[in-house]
């Protein structure tokens, strides 16, 4: 073993430390700034996707799923296939369709009402729902809040509602 290693001045790969090299530091700084910017953009995009999905689900609730194409039904997790929908998908739909934050018990009850067999597959449905809701928070699709009862609740991430509805016109249709 080299004396540098024995004295603790070497690096894991056996070379000298390059952490003080200004060029390396500059590359790391630029990469960090770009990563931070991309993460902020991703958060905004996820929020916008949530808003658009919630709007589409609301329209489907008002006018029926038949107003949506097969592709759109799949994109908003409403396509009915022969198999049972996934647990995470069910949690997403419950949050997306709710007009208020929901506790884990509320989510369990709504899934139980809509897809009872789905709950039977889980030994502890409340724990499973809580895990999925926390995962949706990690994904940026939901947020955890303090509910009206002072307990933790979750809500679908969407842009705040606009004060007024803006009718689509040729001027604003592309904005």
With contact defined as beta carbons under 8 Å apart, do 108 and 77 qualify? no
The H or E element spanning position 146 is strand 142-146
Classify residue 165: in a domain, yes or no.
yes
- DSSP of 85-124: PPHHHHHHHHHHH-SS-B-HHHHHHHHHHH-HHHHHT-SS
Classify residue 2: in a domain, yes or no.
no
Classify residue 138: in a domain, yes or no.
yes
User: Which pLDDT band, with edges at 50, 70 and 90, does 27 fall under?
Assistant: very high
Give per-residue burial for 80-96: e unless 16+ CB within 10 Å, then b. Answer: eeeeebebbebbbbbbb
Classify residue 91: in a domain, yes or no.
yes
Domain containing 148 equals 22-175
Q: Considering its fold, how many domains does the chain have in total?
A: 1
Does pTM top 0.75 for this prediction? no
Classify residue 28: in a domain, yes or no.
yes
User: First CA to last CA across the chain, in angstroms?
Assistant: 64
With contact defined as beta carbons under 8 Å apart, do 61 and 102 qualify? no
Residues 28-63 have pLDDT tens digits of 999 999 999 998 888 888 888 888 888 888 888 888
Classify residue 1: in a domain, yes or no.
no
Helix (H/G/I), strand (E/B), else coil: 154: strand
Between CA 25 and CA 18 the distance in angstroms is 9
Classify residue 12: in a domain, yes or no.
no
Classify residue 15: in a domain, yes or no.
no
Residues 106-157 have pLDDT tens digits of 999 999 998 888 888 888 999 999 999 999 998 888 999 998 888 999 999 8
For residue 62, what is the domain's CATH number?
A: 1.10.10.10
């Amino acid at each position: 073993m080299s004396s540098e290693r024995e004295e603790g001045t070497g690096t894991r790969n056996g070379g000298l430390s390059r952490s003080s090299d200004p060029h390396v530091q500059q590359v790391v700084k630029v990469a960090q700034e770009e990563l931070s910017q991309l993460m902020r953009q991703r958060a905004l995009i996820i929020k916008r996707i949530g808003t658009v999905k919630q709007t589409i689900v609301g329209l489907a609730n008002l006018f029926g799923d038949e107003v949506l194409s097969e592709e759109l039904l799949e994109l908003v997790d409403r396509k009915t296939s022969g198999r049972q929908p996934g647990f995470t998908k069910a949690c997403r739909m419950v949050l997306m369709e709710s007009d208020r934050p929901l506790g884990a018990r509320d989510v369990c009850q709504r899934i139980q009402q809509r897809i009872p067999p789905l709950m039977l597959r889980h030994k502890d449905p409340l724990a499973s729902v809580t895990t999925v809701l926390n995962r949706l928070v990690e994904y940026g699709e939901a947020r955890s809040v303090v509910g009206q009862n002072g307990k933790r609740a979750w809500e679908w991430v969407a842009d705040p509602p606009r004060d007024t509805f803006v009718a689509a016109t040729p001027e604003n249709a592309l904005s």
